[in-house]
Amino acid sequence: MISAEGLRRVFAARGGEDVIAVDDISLSVPRGETVAILGPNGAGKSTLIRMLTTLLPPSAGSARVAGCDVAGEASRVRSAIGYVGQGNSAGHAQRAKDEVISQARIYGSSRDQASRRAEELFSTFDLQGLEQRRTREMSGGQRRRLDLAMGLVHNPSLLFLDEPTTGLDPQNRTNLWEHIRQIREDTGMTVVLTTHYESPRVC
């Protein structure tokens, strides 16, 4: 599902030394696997994920994701994958269900299809009753579950999660791992996640 060779990313620093964020990373992830990329803050996890999701061009190396080249076939990679970034992806003033509907519309669903998909995802992620809640009024755990719902709106075959449980209390962390485990079991989706916690409970 993923094969990367010699990925490297250097950030040019103004007036200082260049930052080598990712240095010569090669990896291979078979379909259906769940892989956790572990490392302390600053290790280069987000940079690696951003290269694999086409958000950032590599300085060197190459990667194929879901059968397509991240540099030459970026839009095909994007339609095959889901990505939940490190920050919350929902807009602050939007209502929760509208966020998911807008996301589904971006991927080409009709208004009816988008609404049905949103209802399905609200059920999967225990978000029923929160459809009209503004995202800034949701708890940390609810927002992370909404982020996951948004990342899965187009039924991707590969899901990238950057620090999905960071900032959550232990109970919400366990709950989120349980949701991720369940999705993986139900869909057979390949999951690549990063965490600076030692042992994600999903693997």
User: What residues between 59 and 88 interact with ligand ADP by CB under 6 A?
Assistant: none
CB of 86 to ligand ADP, least distance (A): 7
Binder among 1, 2, 34, 45 for ligand ADP (CB under 6 A):
45
SS3 percent helix, strand, coil of the chain, rounded to 5, is: 35, 25, 40
Is 188 buried (19+), middle (13-18) or exposed (0-12) by CB count in 10 A? exposed
The contact pattern for ligand ADP, residues 14-33, with x = CB under 6 A and - = no contact, is -----x-x------------
Candidates 35-43, 59-67, 89-97, 183-191 — which segment interacts with ligand ADP by CB under 6 A? 35-43
CB of 104 to ligand ADP, least distance (A): 28
CB of 56 to Mg ion, least distance (A): 12
- Chain-centroid distance, C-alpha 29: 16
Helices 170-187 and 140-151, axial angle in degrees (round to 10): 20
Binder among 9, 22, 29, 46 for Mg ion (CB under 5 A):
46
Q: What's the Cα-to-Cα distance from 102 to each of 69, 79, 150, 158, rounded to whole Å?
A: 27, 16, 9, 21
Binder among 17, 41, 132, 171 for ligand ADP (CB under 6 A):
41
Candidates 45-53, 63-71, 148-156, 184-192 — which segment interacts with ligand ADP by CB under 6 A? 45-53
Candidates 44-52, 66-74, 133-141, 145-153 — which segment interacts with ligand ADP by CB under 6 A? 44-52
Q: What does the H/E/C string look like for 31-96? A: CCCEEEEECCCCCCHHHHHHHHCCCCCCCEEEEEECCEECCCCHHHHHHHEEEECCCCCCCCCCEH
Residue 183: both structure tokens together: 């999705």
CB of 133 to ligand ADP, least distance (A): 29
One-letter amino acid identity for 107? Y
Binding site for ligand ADP (CB under 6 A): 11, 19, 21, 39, 41-47
Binding site for Mg ion (CB under 5 A): 45-46
